[in-house]
Every structure is written in C-alpha cells, then in structure tokens.
Homo-oligomer: A and B are copies of this chain.
C-alpha cells in the first residue's frame, strides 16, 4: 500500500521529468496538444457529465451549500466554455524563446536574455473544475509542467478532465505527466506538495482567503497569490459627475462578487454635495446598500452609518462603504491603510492629480477615469490569466503566459576571457 507521501512524491518527480521535455517543445507541437485537449473535452462531454454527477451526488449527500454545488456543476455549456478557453490559449503567442535586450558589449560579447519556462507549477484550488483545464492550458502553452490539486469535492470531475488533457499530450508526442493531477484527497497531500521544493518551482493557490493563507504559511516553495480585492474609487474635486456615476455603478454593480469590484467609494468634500446624492440614488436603484461616514449620511440620509470595520472590507456583494475626504492625500492615505494593493481608480479632470495618483498609489492596477472591473488578463490585453498577484515579487497584477516564464542570460563570444 502506497502512503500519501510516496504517491505525491512520485507525481512530483514525474512532473519534473516531463518539464524538461515540454520546455523544449516548439509552439506548433504545444498547440497541437492544446487542440487535442479542446477536441477531447467537446467529444467526451457526456462522459464528463457522468463523472461530474458522482461529485454532485456526493456533494448533495454531504450537504454542500447550493452556491458550492453550482460552482461544481458541469453542463454542456460549461464544457464548451472550457474547450473555447483552450482555443483562446492556442491563439496567444508562445512566450518561450523570445530574446530580449540583445546587444554587444565593449569586448564584442553579444549579451541578451532568453525567455524560458519556470519549470513545474503547482496549482491548489477549490471547487471549480474548469480551473483544471484553464490552468493546464496556460502552463502547457508556456512550456511548464503543472501539478493540479483541486478540491476533494470535485475529484471525479477533475480526474476526468485531466485524463482527457493527458491523452492529448501523449497523442502529440509530449509527456502526459506535463499535466499531472494529485488524486489523493487527504489534506496531507497538499503538505507533501508544499514541501517538494526540489521538484516544484512555483505554487499558485486559487480560492478563498482561508485556503490561500494556509498555503502561504506552509509552503517552502515561492507562492504567488492575492488574498482579496478591496478596490477603491476616488472621485476627485471637479470630476465629470455623469461619467463618475456611470463608472461607479459599473464598478460596483456589473459583477459584485468578484475581486475587482469596487468596495469603497472615496469622495472629495467639494465634489460630494453635487455627486453623492445622484450617485447614491443610482446605486440604490441597482440594489446597493450604502454604508457612509457622517458626512455621507448628511448628504444621503437613507444610507446606513459605516462602522470602523467597513473600511477595508471585501463585501463581494451589493454593499458599498462611502467616505468623504478632505483632499486627495487623505484618499491616498485611506487606500494605504485599508487597501489590498489590488485595484484603485481616480475619477478626475485634473491632469496633475491624475498623474500623481497613478504614481503614488501602489496597487497592481491604477486607473484614471475607468472602472476597476478592468483588472483582468483579457481586458488588459494579456489574454487568459492564471490568477492575479497582489504581491510584488515576480508578478504584480494579472498573470498571463509571460508571467509563467522567466529569462536566462545568453552570451555569444568568439574567445572572450575576463581581464
């Protein structure tokens, strides 16, 4: 009987072995494999739904909440969406092998940097089975091997998807272990993974803050993560009021449950009397509950009073904290204290203040006169993303294919030695 430790270690070693092969693969071969993956998912949708039903039945028996069961469910539409997602990755340029900043040194040595894969990437995620296909496609396209460890409640769905992906790799002549899955559902499997620093180069956890904190604390491998998105919009003195209302409604209402939705609205005291009453009316018409500072309550009597805990809260819901500030510096100070380095926007007509906000606010995306909802790989032009980083090491903001690579130095000489 294999122990959990042994079985996870076998997977890690196999992935590392596969990584050196997939790293060398040309784009055409990687695209052929991705194409086979998309085709396999489409053709075997019925089997995927059968396997998914096992997870759904177990989940219902276990009494999982409806929202979680919904995330777990695979429908024909969702399977097609996974396949289409892979097709989009095929269309993205292969980052591997790009040579950057090549130039000639005074001694005649040509020095540049070549983009290379990171190696083996471990993805630890919760209930959505589509992450299995999305993450694997990005890792394969960027020349990395991936080790997938999804939630135990999705084990049948994830294993079925992974099987289709692995077969497509084999058919194309690439190692199946470039997409590896850990199908031991015990927590210990994660611990073994997080200690496999000889095999895994990077860990990306995706899920709730609890999962991410526990991964970050235990891991001996670098972790790229974001805990939460407490996004602020600052409406400056003299902002275009109509435009500001449209942006705020979009940032809060268009999809309130995601990390790039606005959670706190900061309004300059001079703009507040003209802006806040119509903005509040429009937000409330869209079902938003407002929690305001005393100045806000004077202008919008129907708002609830905000408590100290409202500043910095990620509601992920139709709730918005509102504060009137005396200056842009006060707004920036509030963001520094309560923000999460995710996404911040200034709405202003003043060029100097726009530029100072962009320079001084330290978030992964800083916008002028646009909705916070644009912090997304597709919207920013990167293509599909594997996650958003709010830590500054290696990647800051949405991580696309390029962020799954690094560069090595290369040098071409004709006999150069060091004096």
A240: Cβ under 8 A from any B Cβ: yes
Assess the A393–B111 pair: CB atoms within 8 A.
no
Assess the A396–B408 pair: CB atoms within 8 A.
yes
Assess the B392–A119 pair: CB atoms within 8 A.
yes
A243 to chain B, nearest CB (A): 4
Chain B proximity mask over A110-137: 1 for CB below 8 Å, otherwise 0: 0100101011000000000000000000
Q: Which of A118, A250, A391 is the most central at the interface, judged by chain B CB atoms within 10 Å of its CB?
A: A391
Going nearest first, the 8 A-B pairs with the smallest beta carbon separation are: A370-B413, A250-B417, A373-B418, A394-B394, A370-B416, A365-B409, A392-B406, A243-B415
A399 to chain B, nearest CB (A): 12
A244 to chain B, nearest CB (A): 9
A362: Cβ under 8 A from any B Cβ: yes
Closest residue to A103 on the B side, CB-wise?
Answer: B381
- Expressed in whole angstroms, the Cα–Cα distance for A370 and B109 within the complex equals 8
Residues of B within 8 A of A374 (CB): 109, 411, 416, 418
- Expressed in whole angstroms, the Cα–Cα distance for A358 and B407 within the complex equals 12
Assess the B20–A379 pair: CB atoms within 8 A.
no
A217: Cβ under 8 A from any B Cβ: yes
A374 to chain B, nearest CB (A): 6
A186: Cβ under 8 A from any B Cβ: no
Residues of B within 8 A of A240 (CB): 415
From known contacts A393-B222, A411-B366, infer whether A417 and B247 are also in contact, taking CB-CB under 8 Å: yes
A-B contact pairs, 22 of them (CB 8 A): A20-B362, A105-B379, A105-B380, A202-B393, A222-B391, A246-B417, A247-B415, A354-B412, A358-B410, A364-B408, A364-B409, A365-B408, A367-B412, A368-B413, A369-B413, A370-B415, A371-B416, A371-B418, A379-B418, A380-B411, A394-B406, A397-B409
Q: A-side interface residues toward B, CB under 8 Å? A: 20, 23-24, 97, 103, 105, 109, 111, 114, 116, 118-119, 201-202, 216-217, 220, 222, 240, 243, 246-247, 250-251, 254, 336, 354, 358-360, 362-371, 373-375, 379-381, 391-398, 406-418
- Expressed in whole angstroms, the Cα–Cα distance for A395 and B397 within the complex equals 17
Residues of B within 8 A of A354 (CB): 412
- Expressed in whole angstroms, the Cα–Cα distance for A370 and B24 within the complex equals 24
Assess the A366–B418 pair: CB atoms within 8 A.
no
Copies of the chain in the assembly: 2
Assess the B410–A369 pair: CB atoms within 8 A.
no
Residues of B within 8 A of A97 (CB): 359
Given contacts A369-B414, A371-B417, A394-B406, 16 further A-B contacts (CB under 8 A): A105-B380, A109-B374, A201-B391, A201-B393, A217-B220, A247-B415, A365-B409, A366-B409, A366-B411, A367-B412, A370-B415, A374-B416, A375-B409, A393-B393, A396-B408, A398-B409
- Expressed in whole angstroms, the Cα–Cα distance for A363 and B364 within the complex equals 30
Residues of B within 8 A of A363 (CB): 408
Closest residue to A260 on the B side, CB-wise?
Answer: B418
- Expressed in whole angstroms, the Cα–Cα distance for A415 and B358 within the complex equals 16
A212 to chain B, nearest CB (A): 14
Kindly identify which residue among B362, B381, B394 contacts A111, using a CB–CB cutoff of 8 Å.
B381
Residues of B within 8 A of A369 (CB): 412-416
- Expressed in whole angstroms, the Cα–Cα distance for A415 and B216 within the complex equals 37
A188 to chain B, nearest CB (A): 20
Closest residue to A406 on the B side, CB-wise?
Answer: B392
- Expressed in whole angstroms, the Cα–Cα distance for A114 and B23 within the complex equals 30
Assess the B222–A222 pair: CB atoms within 8 A.
yes
Closest residue to A250 on the B side, CB-wise?
Answer: B417
Closest residue to A105 on the B side, CB-wise?
Answer: B381
- Expressed in whole angstroms, the Cα–Cα distance for A180 and B247 within the complex equals 43
Assess the B397–A246 pair: CB atoms within 8 A.
no
- Expressed in whole angstroms, the Cα–Cα distance for A417 and B252 within the complex equals 11
Residues of B within 8 A of A243 (CB): 414-415
A370 to chain B, nearest CB (A): 3
A405 to chain B, nearest CB (A): 9
A83 to chain B, nearest CB (A): 23
